Chain A
Amino acid sequence: EAQVTQNPRYLITVTGKKLTVTCSQNMNHEYMSWYRQDPGLGLRQIYYSMNVEVTDKGDVPEGYKVSRKEKRNFPLILESPSPNQTSLYFCASSSALVETQYFGPGTRLLVL
Chain B
Amino acid sequence: AQSVTQPDIHITVSEGASLELRCNYSYGATPYLFWYVQSPGQGLQLLLKYFSGDTLVQGIKGFEAEFKRSQSSFNLRKPSVHWSDAAEYFCAVARGSTLGRLYFGRGTQLTVWP
Which A residues are closer than 8 A to B by beta carbons? 4, 31, 33, 35, 40-45, 48, 50, 56, 58-59, 90, 92, 97-98, 100-101, 103-106
Contact = CB atoms under 8 A, between A and B. Distances in A.
A106 B49 CA distance: 22
Given A42-B105, A98-B94, A100-B46, 9 more contacts: A33-B100, A35-B104, A40-B9, A40-B106, A42-B6, A42-B107, A43-B44, A43-B92, A90-B43
Contacts of B107: 42
B102 A101 contact: yes
A104 B43 contact: yes
26 contacts: A4-B43, A31-B100, A33-B100, A40-B106, A41-B106, A42-B90, A42-B105, A43-B90, A43-B104, A45-B101, A56-B100, A59-B101, A59-B103, A90-B43, A97-B94, A97-B99, A98-B32, A100-B34, A100-B46, A100-B49, A101-B102, A103-B44, A103-B45, A105-B42, A105-B43, A106-B42
B102 A45 contact: yes
A104 B99 CA distance: 21
A100 to B, nearest CB: 5
Interface in B68-114: 90, 92, 94, 99-107
A97 B90 contact: no
